[in-house]
Chains A and B, each alone.
Chain A
Amino acid sequence: MSAPAYETSNYEYVNARVRSRRASLFDDDDYRKLVRMGTGEIARYMEETEYEAEMNRLASRYSGVDLIEYALNQNLAKHFEDLLRWSEGRLYDYVARYLRKFDAWNVKTALRGVYTDASTSDVEDDFIRAGEFSGASLDELVEADSVEEVVEALEETIFGDPLRAAMDDYEDTGLLVPLENAVDRTFYETLIEGLPANPDRPTELYVQFLRAEIDFRNVRNALRLARTATDMDPAEYFIEGGRLFDRDELRGLVADEAQLVEHIRESTYGDDLADALRVLEDAETLIGFEHALEVALLEYAGTLSNRYPLSVTPVLSYVLAKEREVENVRAIARGREADLSPEEIQEELVVR
């Protein structure tokens, strides 16, 4: 893309469009209707909303849950491409960095694809073409026949070095976890890397938002480890850049769940996470807590974007909300297919 003057970002324009799109996401009522529908009805319902173009394009090739799923993915990719198309200057840089999330997703899809011997077309369909990778490099990933080839194809990207480092672990254990972990960590660590040392206001907000996301992810990982009581080293799963814990602190806290909860309660996120922690105390499983954590992150993003309208946070908050919507609709469609009751599906949804 042509390089506009680095300082000028068009926050006003992008935020107006993003807010409008955010308003047209499914709301409570829509979800209430959707959970009572069969997959065919969901598809028809989606045809009358945002997803019309994708639905019409894909309807001849797929049906049922697959149709819904691919329409969701394509719609997501379209919206996020739009974000990149609109933004200029520094805003473009921030959004592009954040959307590398989908590069990470695509890499993981490719890895899982070769690991489980999925067909190339299946892998290709699961890609979300919203990240930085070009179509050609994604095709290269699809063509790869082994995990080694995928890693080789990624040599030139930001994922190259960490993946190569994780290959030893993969060869020892035969599990994909070390590789996927390397991808996730690279993504989060490059998000914050290389930003100016003394940030101005918008940059500071960007960093603040990402810190929150990293912290929430660390909380989730820590609690998962605490609950499963495995002897895995928590530091392996730790993502740098948050402000809630550091690596050593985390190692101590995972051993003692009560102390971990207390640590979170006293942190700056105490208020935001109060609900989530209450759910955690009541419930035996982590699922409820993880959902509450997602809601808390959405709310935190929403608060930031209301408080600072002329910054990157409304865009990021929209990206999060859109992702949630896609995941919710997918959960509904899959749930209906598996004949879950509307109440059970409702519990799986993350609605704000």
Chain B
Amino acid sequence: MYETVPQLAEVALQQGGPALDAQGAAAIAVGLGAIATGYAQRGIGSAAVGAVAEDDDMFVPALIFTALPETLIIIAFVTIFIAGS
């Protein structure tokens, strides 16, 4: 595959322009935000399930705390509108 690299580079250079436009970059940003949310919820979620298992009254607080990291992805979502327009 290496022998095709020079041709590929030539094509890329001739066509010009960034490999990733604003929309694409925004998509990556949102994706990373989603991964971070998932990672945060992994820990909180397992602790929340543990707490609910011990005491049913903990269900509502547990749900709230599990949902808190969603703010990360919601804020990341804004990026699309800022970068896309």
* Interchain CB contact under 8 A, B51 and A17: yes
* Interchain CB contact under 8 A, A17 and B46: no
Chain B residue with the shortest CB-CB distance to A86: B50
Tell me the minimal C-beta distance from A314 to chain B in angstroms. Answer: 11
* Interchain CB contact under 8 A, B53 and A12: no
Identify whether the interface residues of A are mostly helix, strand, loop, or mixed.
helix
Chain A residue with the shortest CB-CB distance to B53: A17
* Interchain CB contact under 8 A, A15 and B50: yes
**Residues of B close to A20: CB separation below 8 A:** 50-51, 54-55, 58
Identify whether the interface residues of B are mostly helix, strand, loop, or mixed.
helix
* Interchain CB contact under 8 A, B54 and A12: no
* Interchain CB contact under 8 A, B43 and A12: yes
Residue A201 lies at the interface, judged by CB distance under 8 Å to chain B: no
Please tell me the size bucket of the interface on A.
10 to 19
Residue B67 lies at the interface, judged by CB distance under 8 Å to chain A: no
Residue A258 lies at the interface, judged by CB distance under 8 Å to chain B: no
Which B residues, 42 to 58, have Cβ-Cβ distances below 8 Å to chain A? 43-44, 46-51, 53-55, 58
Tell me the minimal C-beta distance from A87 to chain B in angstroms. Answer: 11
Tell me the minimal C-beta distance from B3 to chain A in angstroms. Answer: 41
CA distance A12 to B44 in the complex (A): 7
**Residues of A close to B46: CB separation below 8 A:** 10, 12-13, 16
* Interchain CB contact under 8 A, A21 and B44: no
Which A residues, 1 to 37, have Cβ-Cβ distances below 8 Å to chain B? 10, 12-17, 20-21
Which B residues, 3 to 30, have Cβ-Cβ distances below 8 Å to chain A? none
**Residues of A close to B49: CB separation below 8 A:** 13, 16
Chain A residue with the shortest CB-CB distance to B45: A12
A residues apposed to B, CB below 8 Å: 10, 12-17, 20-21, 86
A-B contact pairs, 8 of them (CB 8 A): A12-B43, A12-B44, A12-B46, A12-B47, A13-B49, A13-B50, A16-B50, A17-B50
Q: What are the 6 closest A-B residue pairs judged by CB atoms, nearest first?
A: A16-B50, A20-B54, A12-B47, A16-B47, A13-B46, A17-B50
